[in-house]
Amino acid sequence: MWNRIAGVILRNRILLLVLIGLMTVFMGYKAQFVEMSYQHAALLPSDDSASVDYENFHTTFGQEGNVMFFAIQDTNFYELDKINDWIALGNDLKKLDGIDAVVSIAHTYNITKNKDKKRFEFKSIFPEKLNSQKELDSIAAIAESLPFYKGSLVNNDTHTYLMAITVNGRVMNSKAREPMVKQVHKASEDFVQKHKLKMHYSGLPYIRVEMAQMIKKEMNMFILLSLLVTAIILFMFFRSFKVVFFCMLVVGLSVIWAVGSMVLFDYKITLLTAMLPPLLVVIGIPNSVFLINKYHGEYILHRNKIKALQRVVSKIGNATFLTNLTTASGFATFIITSSQILKEFGVVAALNIMVVFFLSLVLIPIIFSFIAPPTNKATQHLENKFVNKFVKALEKIVLNNRKAVYLITASLLIIGAIGISKIKSTGYMVDDLPHHNVIYQDLKFFEENLDGIMPLEIVVETNKKGGALKLSTLKRIEKLNDSLKQYPDVSASLSLVEGAKFAHQAYYNGKEKYYKMPSDNIKNILLSYLSKAEVKGEVSIFDSFMDSTQTQTRMSFRIKDIGTTRMEEMEQIVLGHVNAIFPKDNYKVTVTGSSIVFFKGTQYLIKNLFLSLALAILLIATFMAWMFSSKRMVLVALIPNLIPLIITAALMGYFGIPIKASTILVFSIAFGISVDDTIHYLAKYRQELKLTNWSIRSSVVLALRETGQSMMYTSIILFFGFGIFSLSEFGGTVSLGVLVSVTLLSAMLSNLILLPSLLLTLERLITNKSFKEPLLQIYNEEEDIDLNALKIATPIQKNEDEKLTVE
C-alpha cells in the first residue's frame, strides 16, 4: 500500500501542490474570522443536576456572575472634591452601553415613609453634586449609619470603599464586553490619577476579559517562540537553512489549517485551544525530522534521489502514520468528556495532528524532489560524534547492565508510589495566575478588605403561592443567614430579609434599633407600603429576589476563592444548616451559583480526564496490537511509556503541584506522544529481525543505532518546544509545559534503555511468529517501487544515478 502511496505522491506533484495551495488560501481566509471566547467555559454537562439548578436559577432570577467590582483605600475619602468626582464617575459609568446599574456608598438609596400616600419612597442619599464639606459630612454620616449597607460597600476598619457595576447579559457574553471593560477602566483610572490613589479591580466580567486578553497575547507569543526554538534546534542538527525553511513551511501551513478549522467548526479561542497552534509546531516538526533523516540515510546508500524519496514514504510512512495516530488519540480521548471546552480542544487537536502528518508526508518528498540532492555536508549530521557516542553508551548499558536497569526502574517505581501518595486535588478560580499578577493580588485585596467575589446562591422554594413572603419563611432565611455568619469565607447574605429589615427601620422613621424583622401585623403594612413604592429609573425591587408567583426567593452570598477541596466541605456545611432549618416536607432548598458550578465542574473534569487517560492507553495499545499482532509485545511496549507517567505524577506530589484540569492534561498528551518512539523502534526492530535471520540481539542493537538519533532529535525538539510554555502567565500552562517536557525526556531514555533491555531479557517469549508477520505490514528494505514505472508529471533534473521515464 505504501509503495502505491509513494507513487501517487511523486507522480502527481504539481496537482497536489496546487490542491494544498488552494486549501491553504481557503483556510487562511477563514482563519481571519476566528474569535476569542468571552463566555465562561461550561465544564459540566447540561443534564448534570448542578448545571440544571444553575440554569433554573438564571431563568428565574437572571444572571448572578455579572458584577464588576473596583475599590480604593483612602483615609480621607470624604473630601468634597473627591466625593463629587466619585459621584460623577458612577454617573458616567451608568451611561455606558452594557451597564445596567452602579452602586457605591455615594450611589445608594434611603427609604422614607410617606404617611399621606401610605407608601415608601426611595431617594438617593447623595445629590448629583455636593456644595460644601458640611453638607458632605452630614450626608456621609447618614449613609454609613444605615445597617443595610454596612460591611458590603464600606470597610471602616481599613478605609476601603467599593463601587460595583452590573453588566448587561447581552454584553456579558459577547466581544462587546472587552471595549466596555476598557471604558470602565479608563474612567476609573482618570479618577485615581487625579487623586493619586490606587484602584483595585475584580469580578467575573473583569477577570474573564483580562484573561482573554492574556490568552490572545500568549497565543501569538507562543506561535513565534515555537517556530523560533524549533528552527534553531533544526539548524543545529541539520546545519541547513533549506531544511529548516521547508520544515517551518510544513508546520506553518498546519497552523493556518488549524485556525481555519476552528472557524469551520464554529469554535472560539479558549485557554486550551490557544495552545494548539504552538503545539502543532512542536508536534509536527518530528514528522519532518524522521522523514528527512530517512531521506538522507537512503540517499547515502545508493545516491538515487527519487529512489530515496520513494523509500522514505514506503519504509516509514506506516510507522509515522501510526505515531501520529497515537498522538491524535491522546487528544481525541478528551472528546468523551461532557465538557464543551475539552471536546473542542480534542476535536481540533486530533484532526489537525493528522493534517500535519498528511502535509509532512506529501510535501517533504515533493519539495525535495524539486531541489538538488543532499550534499555530503548536508548529510554530516548522520555521523554526529556526540550522538553516536551516546547511542554506543546506551548499547553497552542494554547489553551488559540490564540488572542495573531493572534495579533503577524498580527504585523509581517505589519513589514514584511515595510521590503519588502525596498528590492533592484542588483548583482555584485564578490559581492559574502567578501570585504577583495584578488580577490575583486584587482578588486577594477584595477577600481581605471586603467580601469575596464568587457568587453563592441559595434558592428557597415554598411550593405555595406567596409563600416566600410568609413571616415563617423569612425567619428561617434570617436564621440560616445568622448560622452562616460564623464562617469567615462567606459574606452576609442579601435577601428579602434585609429588605424587610430596611423597610421596618424606615417605617419607624429610620431609627437604627428597628433594623430587625417585623412582626406579622407590621409585615402586612410594610408590604402594602412597598407595593405602592416608586423607584425612579429602577425596576421593581422584588424582581431580582422573588419569582412572579412569590413562591421562590433567593439568598445571595459572596464567597472567597477557597479552592475546590474547601468548597466541597463548605457546600456540605451549608447543606447541613439548610436541612436543619428548612423542613423538607415544606421547602425545597437549592444551593447553586458560579462558585458551586465551578468546583463541581472542576471535579467532574478531573474524573473524566482520568477516564480519557485510561481510554488513551487502551486505544494506543489496540493500535500497537494491530500493528504488531502480538499481545505480549504490546504489554512490553507499554511499560516504558507508563513509567515516565509515574515519575511525572511523583514529581507533582513532591513539588506540591495539585491534580486539576490543567495538569491532568499532561498525562494523555505525553503518553500519546511518547509512545511514538516505541512504535518507531519496534518497527525498525521487526525489519531487522528479517534481515538478521531472527537474531534478536543483533536486531535490538541495529534498531537502537538507526532510531536512536531520530529519537534524540525529536525528543530534544519536543523538550524545548513544550518548555516554551513555562514562560506563560498561567500556572496551568506552565505546569503543562514543564511536566510534558520532563515526561517526554524520561520517555526517550526509557524507550532507548528499558525497552531494548526487555526485548533482550524476554527474547523469544515475546518475539513470536505473529510479531514476525504482523497484520499491518511494514515495508521491507529489499522491496522497491519499479522506478521505470514511476512517471513524474514534470521534468526533473537528471543525473547518472536517476534515470526515470518522464512524461
Residue-wise DSSP of 349-364: HHHHHHHHHHHHHHHH
**How many residues belong to the chain?**
807
Any domain includes 20: yes
Statement: residue 40 has pLDDT above 80: no
Is the alpha carbon torsion for 705, 709, 710, 712 positive or negative? Answer: positive
Any domain includes 427: no
User: 582 with 476: CB under 8 angstroms?
Assistant: yes
* Helix 631-654 and helix 731-749, axial crossing angle in degrees, nearest 10: 140
Please report which confidence band the pLDDT of residue 109 belongs to, taking 50, 70 and 90 as the band edges: confident
Statement: residue 362 has pLDDT above 80: yes
Q: Residue 382 in 3-state DSSP?
A: helix
Any domain includes 567: no
Helices marked H in 265-339 — which ranges? 276-302, 305-332
Helices marked H in 371-487 — which ranges? 385-400, 402-421, 438-449, 471-484
Residue 534 CA: distances (Å) to CA of 14, 118, 457: 77, 12, 27
* Share above pLDDT 90 across residues of the chain, in percent, rounded to a whole number: 22
CA-CA distance, 548 to 60, in Å (whole number)?
9
What is the grid cell recorded at 760? 533482550
Of the ranges 451-465, 572-586, 764-778, the best mean pLDDT one: 572-586
- Residue 335 DSSP label: G
Please report which confidence band the pLDDT of residue 782 belongs to, taking 50, 70 and 90 as the band edges: very low
Whichever domain contains 392, its CATH number is 1.20.1640.10
CA-CA distance, 511 to 514, in Å (whole number)?
6
Lowest-confidence region among 215-219, 438-442, 717-721: 215-219
Statement: residue 380 has pLDDT above 80: no
Note the pLDDT tens digit of each residue in 712-732: 888 888 888 888 888 888 777
CA-CA distance, 41 to 439, in Å (whole number)?
19
Q: Residue 202 in 3-state DSSP?
A: strand
Please report which confidence band the pLDDT of residue 769 belongs to, taking 50, 70 and 90 as the band edges: low
What is the grid cell recorded at 229? 526554538
Burial of 421 (0-12, 13-18, 19+ CB in 10 A): exposed
Statement: residue 344 has pLDDT above 60: yes
Across 760-787, average pLDDT: 52
Reference 480, options 508, 451, 458, 502; nearest CA is 458
CA-CA distance, 216 to 239, in Å (whole number)?
34
Reference 166, options 145, 184, 151; nearest CA is 184
**What is the separation, in whole angstroms, between the first and last Cα of the chain?**
24
Statement: residue 407 has pLDDT above 90: yes
**Greater model confidence, 36 or 160:** 160
Rounded (10°) CA dihedral 565, 567, 570, 574: -140
Statement: residue 765 has pLDDT above 80: no
User: 261 with 33: CB under 8 angstroms?
Assistant: no
Name the one residue in this structure whose C-alpha cell is 471602616.
156
What is the grid cell recorded at 352? 489537525
CA-CA distance, 528 to 115, in Å (whole number)?
12
Q: Phi/psi at 229 (nearest 5 deg)?
A: -65, -50
Residues pairing with 73 in the sheet: 160
pLDDT, position 122 = 84
Statement: residue 792 has pLDDT above 80: no
Across 529-546, average pLDDT: 63
Residues 6+ away with beta carbon under 8 Å from 138: none
pLDDT, position 431 = 64
Note the pLDDT tens digit of each residue in 623-682: 777 766 667 777 788 888 888 888 888 988 898 888 776 677 788 777 877 787 887 788
pLDDT, position 259 = 92
- Residue 372 DSSP label: P
Any domain includes 475: no
Any domain includes 326: yes
Our count of domains for the chain comes to 1
Reference 778, options 458, 474, 323; nearest CA is 323
Name the one residue in this structure whose C-alpha cell is 544515478.
801
What is the grid cell recorded at 108? 445608594
Note the pLDDT tens digit of each residue in 50-107: 888 988 888 888 777 788 898 999 999 999 999 999 999 999 998 888 888 889 999 8
Q: How many CA atoms lie within 13 A of 469 on its CB side?
A: 20
Note the pLDDT tens digit of each residue in 565-607: 888 889 999 999 999 999 988 899 999 988 888 888 877 777 7
CA angle 6, 10, 13 (to 5 degrees): 135
Residue 496 CA: distances (Å) to CA of 166, 454, 469: 19, 20, 8
Across 790-794, average pLDDT: 45
Please report which confidence band the pLDDT of residue 479 belongs to, taking 50, 70 and 90 as the band edges: very high
Residue 147 CA: distances (Å) to CA of 141, 159, 479, 498: 12, 17, 18, 9
CA-CA distance, 624 to 626, in Å (whole number)?
5
Residue 338 CA: distances (Å) to CA of 48, 346, 728: 10, 12, 27
Any domain includes 767: yes
How many CB atoms are located within 10 Å of the residue 631 CB? 13
CA-CA distance, 597 to 592, in Å (whole number)?
7
Any domain includes 321: yes
3-state helix, strand, coil in the chain (%, to 5): 65, 10, 25
CA angle 382, 384, 389 (to 5 degrees): 120
Residue-wise DSSP of 551-581: -EEEEEEEE----HHHHHHHHHHHHHHHHHH
Statement: residue 789 has pLDDT above 70: no
Please give the residue range of the domain that contains residue 369. 2-39+209-373+386-421+598-789
pTM score, two decimals?
0.74
CA-CA distance, 345 to 609, in Å (whole number)?
13
CA-CA distance, 618 to 668, in Å (whole number)?
11
* Rg of the chain in Å (alpha carbons): 33
User: 634 with 767: CB under 8 angstroms?
Assistant: no
Please report which confidence band the pLDDT of residue 785 belongs to, taking 50, 70 and 90 as the band edges: very low
Residues 6+ away with beta carbon under 8 Å from 51: 42, 44, 45, 597
The edge-to-edge listing of strands for the beta sheet with 454-461 is 552-559, 454-461, 588-592
pLDDT, position 685 = 82
Please report which confidence band the pLDDT of residue 788 belongs to, taking 50, 70 and 90 as the band edges: very low
Of the ranges 19-28, 169-178, 183-192, 332-341, the best mean pLDDT one: 19-28
User: 112 with 123: CB under 8 angstroms?
Assistant: yes
How many CB atoms are located within 10 Å of the residue 781 CB? 13
pLDDT, position 772 = 53
**Greater model confidence, 350 or 210:** 350
CA-CA distance, 420 to 202, in Å (whole number)?
36
Q: Which helix (H) or strand (E) holds 702?
A: helix 696-723
Any domain includes 524: no
pLDDT, position 35 = 83
pLDDT, position 535 = 59
